[in-house]
A = this chain, B = another copy of it.
Amino acid sequence: MKEVGVGIIGFGTVGAGVAEGLLKGADLITRRCGVTVALKGVADLDIETDRGVEVPKTLLSTDALALVARPDVAVVVELIGGTGIAYTVVKTALEAGKSVVTANKKLLAEKGEELFALARAKGVDLYFGASVGGGIPIIRSLRDGLVANDIRAIYGILNGTCNYILTRMAREGSGFDAVLADAQRLGYAEANPSLDIDGFDTAHKICILASLAHGVSVPLDQVPVTGIRGLDPVDVHYADELGYVIKLLAVCKAHGNRLEVRVNPTLVPKDHPLASVNDVFNAVLVDGSMTGDTLYYGKGAGRAATASAVISDIVSVARHVASGTPREAEPLPPLAQSGKALLAPEDCTSRFYIRLMVREACGMVGRFATILGDHGVSIFAASQHEATEAQREAGYVPVVILTQPAREGDILAALTEITAQGIVRSMPLHMCML
C-alpha cells in the first residue's frame, strides 16, 4: 500500500477538524481508496491552545515553511485563510512540486489565476472543494458528475449566516437588526458581519462555481452584488402573502457568450426546492443540458462538514500522487481573453417585485403601470397594503407591484421617472423574482 504524506498549515477550527478526521478515519480512507494518507505534521503559530481534538503534540510545530519543505510531505493543506502567509505557503508548495488543498476563497479570488497556472506548469494539483458549500460535494459534482453537461444555470444559497437571518425574519416577523444581533450572540454571524450580509462571501463562491462551469476565470469585481443588510421585514411579510420567501441568491446563467453572474436578495416561490432551504443550510441548483435540474443540499459550514470536504480533496490528490498523475487542472483563461463576457447588470432579465411608498394610493397603480409600460415593463399583479403604524405616521402607504419578465435597466429607468415625479417618498425598492 502506497503512503502519501500530508502537512496541514493552520490549526484553527477547520485545521483541527481535518487533522482529527485524517487520524480517526485513517483505516476507512485506506480501505476505500487503496492509498494510505499519513498526517506528517500540523503547523501554526499557536500550538498551545487546546483545540478539543486528539492530535498528538509530536505532530505540532510552529514553522509552516519547514513543514512544507519536508521531503515526506507530498500534499500541503493550507487552512490559514487570507492572502498573506497563506499565499506564501501555497506558492512555495507548488513551486516545490507539491500538490495543494485549500479552502481559501479570498486567495483563489485574488491570486487564483497565478496559482492555477503555477500548478499546471509544475504538473501538480491545486484543489479547493471546501471553498463552496462546506460538506456538500458541489465542486466535485460540477467537475466530474456533470462533466458531459453544458451548465445552463446555477442558483445557489451559499451563505449560512444570511440564510439563518432570512429564515428567522420569515418565521418570526422580526427586524433585520434584532436578528443579526441575536445571530452574533449565538455565533452564527461575525462581529464584523459585512463579508456575509453584504453578499461578498456569496459572490466569491458564485465566481468559483461560474469559473468551473464555464472554463473561464470570472472576475469578482465585475459581479453585481446586493446583500441583505437592512432588509425591511415588511417585504418579507408581503413576499410571504404573495407565496414567496426571500433568499440571498447567487445566480450564474449562460446566454450564449454572455454570462449573467450576480448576487441578490430574490423572491423564491414557496413550492420551489430552494424555498425550503432554511437556517444555516446551503443548497445549489444546477441546470445541466443533459441532467436538467439537480440539487445539492447540506451544511455549508462548521468544523466537521468543512473538514469532510478538505479530506475528500486530500484523498483525491493523494491518489494522484500515488499514481504519479495529477488531475491536470482545466485551464481557466481570464474572461477578457475567452471570447466570453459578463452580461451588463442592466441587461439582466427577471420578474421583479417593486414596493413603492405613496402618499395617496388612489389612482396610483394605474399611473405606475403607465410609466412602467412606457419603459416596456408589463405588470403581473399589483396590490395596496394596509400601512403599518410607522408608515401611517409618516403619511405613506405601501403599494406592491409584480412585473412580467423585464430588463433591470428598464425597471430602473421607470422607477427613476416615478421618483422624479414626486409621487413616492423615495426611490422604490425592487427585487428579483425566481
Contact = CB atoms under 8 A, between A and B. Distances in A.
A316 B148 contact: no
Contacts of A32: 143, 147, 215, 330
Interface string A288-309: 1111111111110010110111
B25 A316 contact: no
A292 B305 contact: yes
B273 A146 contact: no
A289 to B, nearest CB: 8
Interface centre among A29, A34, A307, A315 (most CB of B within 10 A): A34
A313 to B, nearest CB: 9
Nearest to A145: B137
Given A147-B311, A148-B308, A312-B145, A297 B294 contact: yes
Interface of A: 17, 21-22, 25, 28-29, 31-34, 129, 134-137, 140-141, 143-150, 215, 271, 273, 276, 288-299, 302, 304-305, 307-309, 311-312, 315-316, 319, 323-325, 327-328, 330
Contacts of A137: 137, 140-141, 144-146, 294
Interface centre among A141, A288, A293, A311 (most CB of B within 10 A): A141
A315 B289 CA distance: 17
A308 B296 contact: no
A311 B273 contact: no
B309 A145 contact: yes
A297 B298 contact: no
